[in-house]
Amino acid sequence: MVEFIKDGDILAKDLFTSSGVVLMSEGTKLKREYMGRLLELGIDQVVIKEEDTTNEGILGSIIEEEVKAQCETMVRSTIQKYAYAAEDQLKEIVKVADDLITEILNEPEIMYNVSCVREKSNQLYLHSINVAAISTLIALRAKLPKRKVRDITIGALLHDIGFMTVTADLSELNLEACDEKVRKEVMHHVIYGYTDVEKKEWVSKTVKDIILHHHERLDGTGYPFHKKGEQLKTEVRIVSLCDQFDSMIYGNMMPRSKVKDAMEYLLSQAGVKFDFSLVQLFMESVAAYPIGITVLTNEGDTAVVVRQNYKFPTRPVIRLVKNAEGISYGENEERDLTKALTLFIVDSVEY
C-alpha cells in the first residue's frame, strides 16, 4: 500500500499511469512525500523491492560513481564545445566548472535527485546537465561570487525535478501543439519541483527560486506567477536564458532550432523576455558555430568546426570533409577562416 512507503524504499516494478505512461521506473528510490501525489493520481499500491543487504550498497555506489563520471564528462565537453573564449581563459573556466560539479555531486541529497532524474528520463537528465554547464559558464564569465555560481549550478541541475511527478509522455511532446490539459500539467512541473524542496534545509532559497521561477520572463509573459523585472534574481535570469537555449537546440518540448537561430531568438528578446546584459554576455561566451558542428561554405564544401578563433565568432577553423561534387578531402584539410578571407560559412547541418 502507498501509505506504507518509507524514504529510501526501492520500486520493484515500473509504475504506470492509467494511460500506460511510465510514471516511475523500476529501481527508483521512493520518498515518503510521494504518497500524496500518488494517491491524487489514483495509485494506491506499489511493489517495493525486498532489502538485499549484500548487494544494495555496492550497486548504489556503482550507480553513483557512474552518474558522477557522466555528469563531470558532460559538463566539461559541453563547455568545451560551446564556450567562446581565449584558450587560457577556456582552460580556467573548464577547471573551475569541473571542480565545482565534483564538489556538488559529493553531496548525497543532490546526487540522489540527479540519479532520480536520470532514472525517470534520460532526455531530461541530459538537458539538466547541459543547462548546468552553460549556466555555470555564463556565471563564471559574469565573475559572480562562488556562492552564487554554486547556487546557479545546483539550481540548473535540479531545475526540472518537478517532472518526476508529471504523468505526460515527454519524449515527443511539443508544448505549443499539445492538448490543453497536458500543457497545464507540464507547466505545473515548476510547482511540483518547488513543493518537493520547499522545506529542505540543504536547498538554498536561491536554488528554490530557480526551480520555481525558471520559466518566468522579464516582461511578465512567463509562468507560473507572471513575475517580471526586478522580481527575478540574476541567478534565475541566467538559468532561464540557458534553459531556453538548450531547449531550442535539442528540441526539448519544442521544435529544434540551429544554434545560430536560437542565439538570434535570444538576441531578439534581449531586454524584453531576457536580461539585456546577460544576453550580451551570452553572445560573447557561446560560439555561433560550436566545435564539432557540420557547416556548409559559400564554395559548396561540407566541413566540421574544429577550433574557435577568439574575437572572430563567425570565422572559426574548419576541417573540409567533401567538396560541392561530393568528393572527399584528405584528413588534414583545415582552413582558418581568419586567413582564408574568400571562404565563409553560409549554413550549418546540426541534426
What tens digit of pLDDT does each residue of 267-326 get? 999 999 999 999 999 999 999 999 999 999 999 999 999 999 999 999 999 999 999 999
One domain for residues 21 and 69: no
One domain for residues 331 and 194: no
Number of domains in the chain: 3
- CA dist 124 and 64 (Å) reads 18
> Domain for residue 258, yes or no?
yes
Question: Contact, 39 vs 2, CB < 8 A?
Answer: yes
Residue 159 sits in a domain whose CATH number is 1.10.3210.10
> Domain for residue 48, yes or no?
no
One domain for residues 33 and 66: no
One domain for residues 23 and 163: no
Report which of 210, 198, 201 is spatially closest to residue 235, judged by C-alpha positions.
Answer: 210
One domain for residues 254 and 230: yes
Alpha-carbon distances, residue 127 vs 3, 13, 24, 115, 309 (angstroms): 33, 26, 19, 14, 27
One domain for residues 189 and 78: yes
- Say what the pLDDT of residue 16 is: 66
One domain for residues 76 and 115: yes
One domain for residues 266 and 174: yes
What is the four-CA torsion angle of 13, 14, 20, 22, rounded to 10 degrees? 170
One domain for residues 24 and 170: no
Q: What angle do CA 260, 263, 268 make, to 5 degrees?
A: 125
Domain boundary residue, one of 285, 303, 330 = 285
One domain for residues 313 and 257: no
- Cis amide bond preceding 224, omega within 30: yes
Amino acid at 299: E
One domain for residues 218 and 270: yes
> Domain for residue 128, yes or no?
yes
> Domain for residue 51, yes or no?
no
> Domain for residue 235, yes or no?
yes
Where the chain has pLDDT below 50, the residues are 53
Which residues span the domain enclosing 336? Answer: 294-349
Parallel, antiparallel or unpaired: strands 317-322 and 334-336: antiparallel
> Domain for residue 187, yes or no?
yes
> Domain for residue 50, yes or no?
no
- Say what the pLDDT of residue 47 is: 73
One domain for residues 73 and 181: yes
Q: What does the DSSP assignment read for 194-227?
A: HHHHTT-TTS-HHHHHHHHHTT--TTS-SSSS--
- Say what the pLDDT of residue 141 is: 95
Question: Contact, 164 vs 192, CB < 8 A?
Answer: yes
Chain CA centroid to CA 34, Å: 24
> Domain for residue 340, yes or no?
yes
